[in-house]
Every structure is written in structure tokens, then in C-alpha cells.
Chain A
Amino acid sequence: MFRKTLKNPQAVTGLSLIVLFLMAALFAPALAPNEPDKIDILAKYLPPGGAFPLGTDGLGRCVLSRLLYGARSSMTIAMPSLAIVGLCGVVLGTSAAYLGGAAERVFIIVCDIFMAFPPLVIAISLVGALGTGIVNIVAAVFFSAWVWFARLVRTWALAEKGKDYIISSQIAGCSRTGIIFRHIIPNILPQCVVFLSTSVASVIIMVSGFAFLGLGFPAGTAEWGAILNEAQANFHTHPEILLYPGFCILLAAVGFNLFGEALRDIVTPEGAGQ
């Protein structure tokens, strides 16, 4: 599977974009030409060039440096929150499917209740309620997203449960937890990875949406959505500052979507069903 991924041009394009943004996030302090939060009112709206490769914003801060640090905010939220979503979703979804009975009914009711809310509504209400901070945003993303993933995992696990090898391992005397963790989960893992990798894109967009609304991050944070929010006041005179962060969000999301989709083609080849 790994070798197949490297041979797929779409996967490689996506992966390079992802690596690019991860590098930007990781090495932001080294790559950034200036301090991202250094305000210099006299140097506002400088054109690109010299010490400021993309110019400066309305407070004289270096646009490029802020964008690089913005990659940090996006990546440090999207990755951990989806890791938790993945872990909970896989455990809850497979357990519900395999155990069946009352456990499954309770699971379905809880899911139906959570699924009655559009994810964005849960997320912005929670971010608003919990206040600013990365942990709070991760929690909000988790609560808005877990149910959609757990429900999918349950469907996949149900399909897996009916297969012969599970029945054989039951006859062979495997324990319930043994079957769930050693047999069902490894077999549905590829689908899970595909789903989570495309979800990174939507989480990046959602989180920058919070920041754009002024929720979740302290004022002045170098986050793509927050930069957009600050730039909108001078949208008529300096639209270029609005363009850069949008491009960053777009490219990061395109990277994860391209990669996730190529991965899906590799995991479920055409004709093998969905």
C-alpha cells in the first residue's frame, strides 16, 4: 500500500503539500523573517520586498511571518483533535456493532441526538462556552465530529462482522475484546485512515472559521482565519492581505483532500464496491 501511494501522482501531490505545510508549522521560528507579532505602526502596509517578502499588514506586522505561524495553529489543532476522534470513533463504533443488543441501541440513540445538530453549531457553541485556548478548540472539534465518524465505523464494522473469518474466530474461542481489537479493527483501519485524512481538510477550514468569527483564539493570534478577520476592515484599500491567508487555507485543504482521495482509490479500487 505504501509503495502504491508513492506511485500515485495525485497522492504524491497531496502529500507534498501536506509536508510543505507541516514543515512551515514545525520550522516557523526559523523560516519566519520577522517576529510575527511585532507591531510597527510606521511601517504599515509596506509593499512586498526587502525585509518583508509579502509586505506588512495594517499594524506593520510581517505578513509572511504571520502566515508561517498560522500553519502552526492550524496543524496543532487539526491533527490531535482528529486523532482523538479516530480513537474514540473506532473503539465505540466497532464495540457497538460487535456487541449489539442494548449497547448498540443506546449508541444509536446517543448518535441520533448528536447528529441532530449541524457540526458547526456544536463547535461554535462549545468554543464560545469554553473560551479561548487550543485545548478548548480541540474539545469543541471533537464533540462536533466524533459522532459522524463513529456511525460510519459502526457500518463498516457491521459489514465486517458478518464475514466468515469472524465466525471462525468465534468458534475457535477468541474473546470478544480479542475479536474487536485483533480482527475487526485492523480490517477496517484503511477506510478509517482515508476518512480521517479528508477530515483534516474540513477541520482546518472549520477552525479558521472560528478564528474568523473571533472565537477560540486570543485577539491578535497569528491564525489564518484571524488574519482574514483583521484584514476585512480594510478590504477595499488592501485586498491583498485578505488573499494570502485564504490561499493558505485552500492549499492546505487541497493537500489533504487530494491525498485522502488518492488513498481511497488505492484502498478501495474501482469495482470493489464502496
Chain B
Amino acid sequence: MKIQKRGLRAKNRAAMLLIVLFGVSILSFALSAISPIDPAEAYARRTNFLSVTPERIAEIRVQMGLDKPIHIQYMSWLRGVLKGDFGISLTSRKPVTADIAAYLPLTLKLSGLSLLLVAALSIPIAAVCAMRKNGVFDHITRGITIVGLSMPNFWLGFLLLLVFAVMLPVFKVVETGGGLRALFLPALALAIPIASSSIRIFRATILAEMNKDYVAFARARGLSERRVLWMHVLKNALPSMVTMLCQLFGYMLAGCAVLEKIFSLGGLGSYLVDAIIGRDLPAINGCVFVIALIFVAANTFADILNPLIAPRMAGGSVRV
């Protein structure tokens, strides 16, 4: 019976996911469609600003299908999306799918590296803070993290450039290529504010976990405090950390936009910002949809991974 129940839960979740994805497609389309700026006019001005006549604009509008009612536009967009076709970018004149495929890897690498930095910084620091609660290290960390989480990442990017590329030339101001060297400073700028808030949240998670009965039992068995923390508490605190890190990955995809601009990296984020500034509707819709897809995928991944890390999460019932 339990297996049936779990199957039902999985089915429900899959149905829910489909509804959410459908809603996501509507919302990604709507986000740009509500604009008071006429994309046909913007396109006409950009392509040939000398002869912007009302006739020319009307012609472009028909060409782009913008004369049709909004739900028809949405349906034809959705049909394309299901085939992996987001239309033609109005600025680069290439298929949006090709543009996204070209720019996405860099953004994924940047967010991935940044996420690694966040995990590597926040989990150990949070654990030490929780172990020596209200100690000197805990207090210092508290102070540093409050500054860290108040730090605008774009400003931090400049500070890092100023220190590590201008004053101490460890890195070049514009690193070429998509290698680790080029990505390290932007990833660090992206990671520090997020790591600061994760340290605080993970510290609270670990402390809450330490109040549970099994910890008292482990201590009563005579295990050392260090062993209790690293082997038992952390293992049980891990699922909520994984959920959070996966969610952070989505945040970072968006946060990349600003840092890609500062560090002159051509990624999806800066592509999206350029598309927004240039009123490139197909590109905006495509990017927003893809980012939302990755965000949903990361959250689903956490949902699947967690029961494997801590089996008690599954079903919520006591295992016999």
C-alpha cells in the first residue's frame, strides 16, 4: 500500500509540474507582451531609422504576427516552443534557440562555480559557528555576514576588479576565454552575498537539528562532539541545505546578468538584459522561459535527491 501511495504522490507531483510549466509559459510570454512600447516600431527604428513610416511599421507588424490577438500570438509561440523554436531574435537576426545555446554554457559555468563556492564557504563555516555557538568565531562571522548580505554584488565585482586586477595584478581586467581564470572573480562576487545569507540559515538549521533526540542519544553513547556534528547532525541537516542550494542556483542564473556585464562576459544574463533594452520580444520570452525551466528543474532535482540522502523524508511516515 505504501508503494502505491508513493506512486500516487509521484503522479500528483508530475501533474502539478505540468500545470506549473504551462503557467510558466503563459507568464514568460505575458511579461513582455504587456509592454506599452510597440515592438514593431522599435524594430523599424532599429533596422532603418531613416524611413520609419506608419506603413512600414504596419508591414512589420503583420510580418511579425503582432497584428493578431494576444492569445493567438501566444498559441503560435507555444507551438514553436514545444518544437524547441523560440523564433528569430530581432537584434542578432539568428534563431533565439541558437543564441541561447551559444550563451547558456557560460552562465551555467559561472553559476555552477559560484554555487560551489557558496557550498564550500557556507557549510563548514556554519557548522563551526553552530558548534561554538556564541563564541568569538560565531560573533565575528555574524558581523561579517551581515555586511556580506548587504553587499550589492555588482559593486563587489568592481571592488574585486580594483583590488585583484588593478592594484595587485593577479587577474587581468578583461580575461579572455571562458576558463576558470576568467570566471573566478565574477563567481566570487556572486557568491559572497549569497554565502553570507546561507551561512546564517545553515547555522540555524544545524542548531535546530542539534536539539533533536538522536543527538542526545549519540552524545550519551559517548561519541565525541565533533563526530556527532560531522557524522550525524550534518547528514540530517543536508536535505534542507540541498533544497536551498538548488534554489540558489536559480537565483544565481539571474544574478549573473549584472556580473557578466561588469566582467564583459557574453552569457545568457547579459543577452537577456540586451534583449530587454532592445525590445527583442522573442529573445526575452525565450530567455525568461529557459531560466524558469532551469529553476524548476533544479528544484525538482532537489526533491528527487533528498529522499536518497535522508530516506526518512520519503512519505513522511515512520519506516518499519
Contact = CB atoms under 8 A, between A and B. Distances in A.
Contacts of B24: 113, 116-117
Interface string A187-207: 000000000000001000100
B19 A109 contact: yes
Interface residues of B, number: 50
B20 A124 contact: no
B35 A130 contact: yes
Nearest to B173: A236
B20 A113 contact: yes
A213 B291 contact: no
B80 to A, nearest CB: 19
A250 interface: yes
Given A113-B20, A125-B284, A246-B159, A130 B254 contact: no
B169 to A, nearest CB: 12
Contacts of B272: 121, 124-125
B261 A213 contact: yes
Given A113-B20, A116-B296, A124-B272, A205 B31 contact: no
Contact of B20 (A116, A225, A245, A250): A116
Given A116-B24, A118-B254, A274-B204, A128 B277 contact: yes
Contacts of B146: 254, 257-258, 261
B273 A253 contact: no
Grouping DSSP codes into helix (H, G, I), strand (E, B) and loop, the A interface class, with mixed when no group exceeds half, is helix
Contacts of B276: 124-125, 127-129, 215
Contact of B155 (A109, A126, A201, A250): A250
Instruction: Kindly list the 6 A-B residue pairs having the minimum CB-CB distance in the complex, ordered from nearest.
Output: A128-B276, A113-B23, A253-B150, A246-B155, A120-B254, A129-B35
B308 interface: no
Interface in A202-253: 205, 208-209, 212-215, 225, 228, 232, 235-236, 239, 242, 245-246, 249-250, 253
B151 interface: yes
Given A201-B150, A257-B150, A228 B155 contact: yes
A204 B151 CA distance: 11
A239 B150 contact: no
B37 interface: yes
B95 interface: no
A114 B152 contact: no
Nearest to B166: A236
Given A124-B273, A125-B284, A228 B295 contact: no
B174 to A, nearest CB: 12
B296 A250 contact: no
A208 B158 CA distance: 15
Given A131-B35, A213-B273, A254-B150, A117 B204 contact: no
Nearest to A114: B27
B262 interface: yes
B20 A112 contact: yes
B319 to A, nearest CB: 26
Of the four ranges (under 10, 10 to 19, 20 to 34, 35 or more), the interface on chain A belongs to 35 or more
A82 to B, nearest CB: 16
Given A114-B27, A212-B258, A228 B154 contact: yes
Contacts of A236: 166
B208 A274 contact: yes
A117 B34 contact: no
5 contacts: A120-B251, A215-B277, A228-B155, A249-B152, A253-B149
A122 B30 CA distance: 11
A114 B166 CA distance: 41
Interface in B226-285: 250-251, 253-255, 257-258, 261-262, 272-273, 276-277, 279, 284
Interface of B: 16, 19-21, 23-24, 26-28, 31-32, 34-37, 146-147, 149-152, 154-155, 158-159, 161-162, 166, 204, 208, 250-251, 253-255, 257-258, 261-262, 272-273, 276-277, 279, 284, 288, 291-292, 295-296
Contact of B27 (A109, A113, A214, A253): A113
A125 B21 CA distance: 18
A112 B149 CA distance: 26
A206 B208 CA distance: 31
A232 B262 contact: yes
Nearest to A198: B149
B23 A109 contact: yes
B158 A246 contact: yes
Counting chain B CB atoms within 10 Å of each CB, which of A110, A119, A125 scores highest? Answer: A125
Given A125-B276, A131-B35, A117 B292 contact: yes
B221 to A, nearest CB: 26
B195 to A, nearest CB: 15
Contact of B291 (A110, A121, A258): A121
B190 to A, nearest CB: 12
Nearest to A117: B292
B31 A125 contact: yes
B211 to A, nearest CB: 9
Given A120-B254, A208-B152, 13 more contacts: A112-B16, A114-B27, A116-B27, A117-B27, A119-B251, A124-B254, A124-B257, A124-B272, A128-B279, A131-B35, A213-B261, A232-B262, A254-B146
A109 B20 contact: yes
B218 to A, nearest CB: 21
Given A118-B250, A213-B273, A126 B208 contact: no
